[in-house]
Amino acid sequence: MTEPALAHATEYGRMYSRSLSEPPTVPSITTVISQGSTSLDGWHSYMAASAVVKDPKLTAALGSPSQLRSVVKEASSASERYRDAAAQRGTRVHFYCEQVALRALGRPHEVERAREDLAARGEHQFADRFDEWWKLYDVQPIAPEITVWNAELGYAGTLDLVARIGGRLCLIDYKTKNTDRDGQVKQLDDKVVMQLVAGMKAQESLVDAAAGTWEPWAYGQDPLLLGVAVGQTEVRPMRANPDVLPQHWFKFCALRRVWQTSIDAVAAGRALLPVPPPPVGAHETPAPRAAPPAASAPETADPQTSVPAGAPQP
């Protein structure tokens, strides 16, 4: 996938600007969705343990603490290496898909170079299966890699393809997927529905990045939303269930607020402040005050011996 001209990597995630001469102002669709990410601790641990077991240097390292530490250190980054390799492969596959659409539109393209790049890494099956799907579904491209903007909520993104399939307008997002043990491409994540519905809810699309010109979004009226899993053994298109689109849109809106709230919390200042020790002597307990003397009780007459004043003496 080609890098969107207006997308920028920032400390707040990937953000978009209105033109090449302006700073980024809104988060990308994928950055907003990432606010709801779940923990991958278990996957990271599995990848690290698997890397240790498969490391050919493990046997020799068992008798050497320094070599063993080297094996463990290398294994600790196994998940990052896997993630980066998958991202690079996804970029190559997306680029090929884009070039196929450009060729079909009669525009300048680099289909052959993109295919050769995949073949050089043993990934030509992705291109083969994609070509089969493109022909079988008779995809009629309209706009590949189109950047969209929503000023009301505040986000932007780039859709992989707007096309017509079977006479129906479609918004399409490609996902490069591995193959499972049964030879089938792995399932898409439900988050792709949020990504597609956010694209559908766009208000503008980019005309000229250098000039910063935009036009009203022309493809948001009741399109078919397709997540397309591109694998080495098959391509599997999946339609977003129209009955759940409102809920996924509301979830996206909530995650956009989470993104903004996180920025506001950082901008508000330090969340934790140091606590100095109390002043010297502040911990001493003051001496208790002396209790006031008890009041004298009035004398009372003993009914057996005393005689009231004025009474006759016995």
What pLDDT was estimated at residue 87? 82
Helix (H, G, I), strand (E, B) or coil at 172: strand
CA distance 297 to 102: 110
What pLDDT was estimated at residue 5? 81
What pLDDT was estimated at residue 85? 74
What pLDDT was estimated at residue 298? 55
Contact between 141 and 104 under an 8 Å Cβ cutoff? The reply is yes
Radius of gyration, alpha carbons of the chain = 36
Contact between 4 and 205 under an 8 Å Cβ cutoff? The reply is no
What pLDDT was estimated at residue 289? 72
What pLDDT was estimated at residue 55? 58
Successive 10-residue mean pLDDT values, the chain, 314 residues: 76 95 96 80 50 58 66 60 75 97 98 97 97 98 98 98 97 95 92 98 97 97 97 96 98 97 94 92 69 61 49 48
What pLDDT was estimated at residue 1? 40
199 backbone dihedrals φ, ψ, rounded to 5°: -65, -40
Among residues 145, 73, 76, 78, the alpha carbon closest in space to that of 109 is found at: 145
Count other C-beta atoms under 10 Å from residue 145's C-beta: 20
Residues contacting 233, CB < 8 A, separation 6+: 125, 129, 179, 183, 184, 185
Amino acid in position 118: L
Contact between 126 and 93 under an 8 Å Cβ cutoff? The reply is yes
Q: Quote the pTM value.
A: 0.75
What pLDDT was estimated at residue 46? 47
What pLDDT was estimated at residue 281? 77
- For the record, the structure tokens of 261 come out as 């709230």
